């Protein structure tokens, strides 16, 4: 009889022989359908790896022949890949990234001649989509497993807690820096996941960093709207760049430039953020500053907006309400919110100051008037600022579209 040389490479048989006892134990456990015993055999340490690794090394070698052996580096890569699959899953981001980063391994796993119907599928049909969208998303997912779990553990409706987590409240140094990077990478991932459900268009890769920058601005105020206008939204009828992507892919309406107030509107809020937060919280039953009783709430508001001081009107010194620095800042912000021209901003603040402080309570007593004491400070102010009266006070564009009644200068 002719001696038949086995097809398998020599190393395959050497591994089988060296570990025959464990192969026998595995076969016995499998025949007994004893899962615990199977797991125990596979967990047996063999050199610097486990018997499970040896099994897979043998499986990979068995796919080759003496004439066309599976290269050692492919065998090693396969064993390492299967460890990743064991720890995660065959469809995990870790497993898919390992295939993407090891092209020879990936081709081996997809080789139908080697695996037949068990061959791995393409990571994606579109290489452009794979390279520019899927792979970057997988890298973010792998890098931030722990942070994602922490974020997802917070209830979806607990927006305050989720915002605090993303802001890194309570963290310092490198921990804070990593949390900031996580927050920004979440936005990168979000942009890469978006698409127009009708056209299938995806968010342009050259606008992803702009998307991250957009979300670094607070939702409150007009910083995001201003960002949209400055990044392709100058002409609402001909959107470009980021604004176009946000409209077509994210599906948001782009504001008209004339509807976005000056940056000072947001700067003032940022400067006085604690005070604005408290003022707004007085009427918010979910705020720590909430005051339920309307009268007490008004007292709390007035305490923030006014103090008492001696003021001089028409040469008469009298105690009266005096707007606080915060009140003046809020009036100025209101002016910017009402699109008051810059030339009239300070006049608007001065008018609001006079109007809100009002006539002193004992004005009649202090001036010797009987009955309803006459008060002309506001009239004189308007007479001295007729441009403001005409261009701002009587212009509905600077009063939320509401037309004020003409001032009665003859009373």
Give tens-digit pLDDT for 247-303: 999 999 999 999 999 999 999 999 999 999 999 999 999 999 999 999 999 999 999
**Does residue 126 carry a pLDDT above 70?**
yes
pLDDT band at residue 49 using 50, 70 and 90 as cut-offs: confident
Same domain, residue pair 272 and 255? no
| pLDDT score of 12 | 64
- Phi and psi for 374 in degrees, rounded to 5? -75, 145
Same domain, residue pair 393 and 274? yes
Residue 249 lies in a domain: yes
| pLDDT score of 1 | 42
Q: Which of 7-16, 140-149, 364-373, 395-404 has the highest mean pLDDT?
A: 140-149
Query: CA dist 192 to 20, 129, 138, 147, 225, Å?
Result: 50, 10, 11, 19, 22
**Does residue 364 carry a pLDDT above 60?**
yes
Same domain, residue pair 219 and 275? no
Other C-beta atoms lying within 10 Å of the C-beta of residue 349: 20
Report the DSSP beta bridge partners of residue 310: 319
Query: CA dist 129 to 205, 304, 403, Å?
Result: 10, 55, 54
Mean pLDDT throughout 373-388?
92
**Does residue 355 carry a pLDDT above 90?**
yes
Same domain, residue pair 316 and 333? yes
Residue 86 lies in a domain: no
**Which one-letter DSSP state was computed for residue 393?**
I
Nearest by Cα to 187 from 160, 217, 159: 217
Question: Pairing relation of β-strands 316-323 and 49-50?
Answer: unpaired
| pLDDT score of 13 | 63
Q: Which residue do the tokens 């990168």 mark? A: 188
Residue 163 lies in a domain: no
Report the DSSP beta bridge partners of residue 202: 195
Q: What span, in angstroms and rounded, lies between the C-alpha atoms of 51 and 39? A: 10
Residue 202 lies in a domain: yes
Of 44 and 280, the structure prediction assigns the larger pLDDT to 280
Which two tokens mark 216?
């670094």
Same domain, residue pair 226 and 298? no
Q: Which domain holds residue 393?
A: 268-398
Which two tokens mark 325?
């620095």
**Does residue 4 carry a pLDDT above 50?**
no
Same domain, residue pair 310 and 366? yes
pLDDT band at residue 104 using 50, 70 and 90 as cut-offs: very high
Q: Distance between alpha carbon 272 and the CA centroid of its chain, in Å?
A: 24
Range list of β-strands (E), 245-295: none
Q: What percentage of the chain carries pLDDT values higher than 70?
A: 96
Q: In terms of C-beta density within 10 A (0-12 exposed, 13-18 middle, 19 or more buried), how is residue 388 classed?
A: buried
Other C-beta atoms lying within 10 Å of the C-beta of residue 295: 8
| pLDDT score of 5 | 42
C-alpha distance across the termini of the chain, in Å: 130
Mean pLDDT throughout 143-168?
97
3-state secondary structure of 120: coil
Same domain, residue pair 237 and 354? no
Query: CA dist 344 to 195, 269, 390, 392, Å?
Result: 45, 20, 11, 8
**Does residue 370 carry a pLDDT above 80?**
no
Residue 406 lies in a domain: no
Residue 404 lies in a domain: no
Other C-beta atoms lying within 10 Å of the C-beta of residue 383: 12
| pLDDT score of 329 | 98
pLDDT digits 0-9 by tens, 200-215: 999 999 999 999 999 9
Q: pTM, whole model, 2 decimals?
A: 0.81
Mean pLDDT throughout 332-360?
96
Residue 276 lies in a domain: yes
Same domain, residue pair 248 and 281? no
3-state secondary structure of 146: helix
Q: What span, in angstroms and rounded, lies between the C-alpha atoms of 99 and 80? A: 11
Mean pLDDT throughout 174-200?
97
Q: Which residue do the tokens 């920058």 mark? A: 213
Same domain, residue pair 284 and 383? yes
Q: What span, in angstroms and rounded, lies between the C-alpha atoms of 111 and 118? A: 9
Which two tokens mark 98?
């390992």
Contact 206, 249 (CB under 8 A): no
Q: Work out how many domains the chain is built from and give that number.
A: 2
Contact 42, 56 (CB under 8 A): no
| pLDDT score of 33 | 85
**Does residue 3 carry a pLDDT above 50?**
no
pLDDT band at residue 341 using 50, 70 and 90 as cut-offs: very high
Least confident of 22-31, 132-141, 334-343: 22-31
């Amino acid at each position: 009889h002719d001696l038949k040389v086995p097809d398998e490479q020599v190393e395959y048989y050497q591994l089988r022989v060296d570990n025959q006892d464990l192969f026998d134990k595995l076969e016995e456990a499998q025949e007994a359908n004893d899962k615990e015993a199977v797991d125990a055999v596979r967990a047996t340490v063999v050199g610097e790896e486990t018997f499970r690794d040896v099994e897979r090394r043998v499986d990979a070698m068995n796919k080759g022949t003496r004439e066309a052996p599976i290269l050692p580096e492919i065998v090693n890569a396969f064993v390492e890949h299967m460890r990743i699959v064991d720890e995660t899953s065959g469809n995990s981001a870790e497993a898919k990234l390992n295939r993407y980063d090891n092209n020879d391994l990936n081709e081996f796993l997809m080789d139908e001649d080697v695996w037949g119907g068990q061959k791995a599928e393409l990571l994606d049909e579109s290489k452009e989509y794979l390279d520019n969208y899927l792979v970057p998303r997988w890298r973010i997912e792998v890098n931030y497993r722990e942070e994602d779990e922490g974020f997802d553990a917070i209830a979806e409706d607990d927006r305050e807690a989720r915002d605090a987590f993303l802001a890194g409240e309570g963290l310092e140094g490198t921990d804070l820096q990593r949390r900031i990077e996580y927050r920004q990478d979440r936005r990168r991932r979000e942009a890469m996941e978006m698409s127009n459900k009708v056209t299938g268009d995806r968010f342009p890769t050259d606008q992803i960093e702009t998307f991250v920058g957009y979300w670094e601005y607070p939702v409150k105020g007009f910083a995001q709207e201003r960002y949209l206008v400055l990044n392709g939204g100058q002409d609402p009828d001909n959107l470009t760049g980021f604004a176009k992507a946000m409209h077509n892919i994210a599906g948001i309406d782009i504001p008209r430039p004339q509807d976005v107030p000056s940056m000072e509107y947001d700067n003032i809020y940022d400067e006085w953020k604690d005070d604005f937060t408290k003022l707004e919280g007085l009427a918010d039953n979910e705020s720590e500053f909430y005051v339920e009783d309307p009268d007490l709430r008004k007292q709390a508001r007035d305490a923030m907006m006014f103090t008492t001081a001696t003021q001089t009107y028409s040469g008469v010194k009298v105690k009266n309400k005096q707007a606080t620095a915060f009140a003046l800042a809020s009036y100025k912000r209101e002016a910017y919110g009402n699109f008051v021209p810059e030339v009239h901003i300070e006049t608007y603040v001065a008018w609001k100051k006079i109007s809100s402080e009002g006539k002193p309570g004992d004005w009649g007593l202090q001036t010797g008037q009987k009955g309803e004491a006459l008060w002309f400070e506001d009239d004189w102010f308007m007479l001295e600022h007729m441009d403001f009266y005409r261009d701002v006070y009587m212009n509905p564009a600077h009063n939320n579209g509401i037309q004020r009644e003409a001032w009665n200068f003859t009373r």
